[in-house]
Structure 1
Amino acid sequence: MSTTTNLFVTRLYRAKLNDLAKKKVNYEELRDTCIAIAEDDEAGQEWCEREGYPGYTSYASLDDLPWRAPIFADLEKALDKHVAAFCDELGFDLQGKKLKCNAFWINILPEGGTHSSHIHPHSVISGTTYVQMPEGTSALKLEDPRLAMMMMSPLRRKDAAQELQPFVYVKPEVGEMLLWESWLRHEVPMNMSEEERISVSFNYNWA
C-alpha cells in the first residue's frame, strides 16, 4: 500500500482586514487618501516616469505613510493582528519577539499596467490589501518557489489540484488582504480594466 505526503508547504493567508481590526478601516477613505497622496507626490511621479513604471507607486518616494495619514496608522494596527496570526499558523518561533511593519507603499495601476515578477528581499512577511479592484482587473499571480529547479518536469494538467500548479492566480476583493512569506515570487499581470487598480503593499521584518 502506497501513501503520498505533502511536504514543504507554501502558505497564503487571506482574510478581510477588518475581521481582526479594533478600529475598522474605511476603504473608501483609504482609496481617496491613496489618490490624494499620489497626486501630491511629485518625487514618486518622477521616479515612476524615470523607471518606466506604469501608473504610480510610492515605493521609492514615501516611507512615512502612517505618520502622513491617520488611516494608514489604523491600517497598520489591523495588519499587526493578521501578521501575528499568520506567524502562528507558520509555526514561527519568534523567541518572544515580534515582527514589525517596516514599509508601506501605494500602488495605482492604470489600464495596461503590470508589475513584473519579483520577491521582497530583507523581509519576513509581505502582503497587500486591496483598495479598488474594478471588474476585469488583474489577479495576483503566485509562482511555485521550486519552479527553477524542476528541469525536465512535465507540464501539469489543467485539472490538477491547485497545490500542484506552477502558478496560482488569486483574485481578491476590496477589503481583503493577502499575506505570504517574502521569498515567494509573485507578479501582477496586465490590468485589462479601464479603471485603476489600487492596492497598498507592505513588508514586515524583525522589530
Structure 2
Amino acid sequence: MTQIDSLFVTRLYRSHLSEYGKPVDLAEMEASCYSIAQDDEAGQEWCEENDYVGYTSYASLTDLGWRFPIFKDLVKVLDKHVAVFAKDLAFDLGDKKLKLDSLWINILPQGGVHTSHIHPHSVISGTTYVTMPQGASAIKFEDPRLAMMMAAPTRKKKAPQELRQFIYVAPEAGEVLLWESWLRHEVPMNLAEEERISVSFNYGWG
C-alpha cells in the first residue's frame, strides 16, 4: 500500500488574546502606542536613519511594561499563549520556562513594509494586532526549505496550504500569532490608508 506522510511540520499558532486572559482594551493600547511613539525621540531618530517608514520601538525601548500598565497586562496574557504553544511543540524545557525578552511597537502607515527577516537568539516570536484596517497587509511566511529547492518547479496556485512556498495570514485586531523564531516572515507594503498597529515580541529559554 502506498503511503505518503508529512514530515518536519512548521506550526503556526493563532488565537484571540482573550482566549487565555481578560480582554485587552484595544482602544487604550492604540492610544498608548501613539503616545509612546510621539515621545520616543530615539525611536523616531532610528526610523529616520534607517529609512523605516512609520515607527517602531524595537531599537529604542525595552521597558514598555513599566511605562504603561496595559503592556504589563498584555505580557501576562502572552505568557499563557506561549505556554500553550510550547506544549503543542513538545519542547522539553526541563525546569526552565520560556520567558519574554523583548516587546516592541510597530506603527505601519500606507506604503510601509517590514522586510523579510527571522528573529535570532529567540525560541518563539509573535505579534498581536491592535488595529488592522480594511486592506492592511497580511503577514507573509516563507517555507524554511525554500533555499534548498534549487531545481523544484513552482507549486500550483490551488496547492494545499501545507505544500505552498508562501503563506499569507490576515489577522484581526485582538488576535495573536506565534511561530518558532527561525521562521522567515515579512509584511508586504501596507496599502490601507489607515495605519496598521501591532505589538511584536520574542521569548527565549534559559
TM-score by length of 2: 0.99
Partner of 2:174: 175
Match of 1:29 in 2: 28
1:86-133 deviation line (CA, Å, top 9, x unaligned): 000000010121011010000001001001000000000000000010
Aligned mates of 1:164, 1:35 — CA distance in 2: 39
Deviations 1:31-84 (A, max 9, x none): 110011001111100000001111000000000000111000000000000000
d(CA) in 2 for partners of 1:105, 1:156 = 35
TM-superposition CA deviations, 1:123-173 (whole Å, max 9, x none) = 000000000100001000000000000110010001110010000000000
- What residue in structure 2 maps to residue 9 of structure 1? 9
Q: After TM superposition, give the deviation of residue 25 of structure 1 in Å.
A: 1.4
Question: In structure 2, what residue type is equivalent to 1:7?
Answer: L
Q: Size of the alignment, in residue pairs?
A: 206
What are the ranges of 5 or more consecutive residues in structure 1 without an aligned counterpart?
A: none
| Counterpart AA for 1:174 | A
1:143 maps onto 2:107 in alignment: no
Specify the alignment match of 1:190 in structure 2.
189
Q: Which amino acid aligns with 2:3?
A: T
What's the CA shift for 1:177?
Answer: 0.3
3-state SS of 1:32 partner: helix
Q: Provide the C-alpha distance between the structure 2 equivalents of 1:80 and 1:134, rounded to a whole number of angstroms.
A: 27
Q: What are the Cα deviations for residues 12-31 of structure 1, in whole angstroms up to 9, with x where unaligned? A: 0000011101x431111111
Secondary structure of 1:195's counterpart equals coil
Give me the whole-angstrom Cα distance separating, in 2, the residues matched to 1:51 and 1:140: 21
Aligned residue for 2:73, secondary structure, equals helix
Q: Runs of 4+ in structure 1 displaced over 2 angstroms?
A: none
Over the matched positions of the two proteins, sequence identity in percent amounts to: 67
Q: CA RMSD in A?
A: 0.7
Question: SS where residue 72 of structure 1 aligns?
Answer: helix
Distance 2:80 2:54 in 1: 31
CA distance in 2, matches of 1:24, 1:204: 22
SS of residue paired to 1:152: coil
SS at match of 1:94: coil
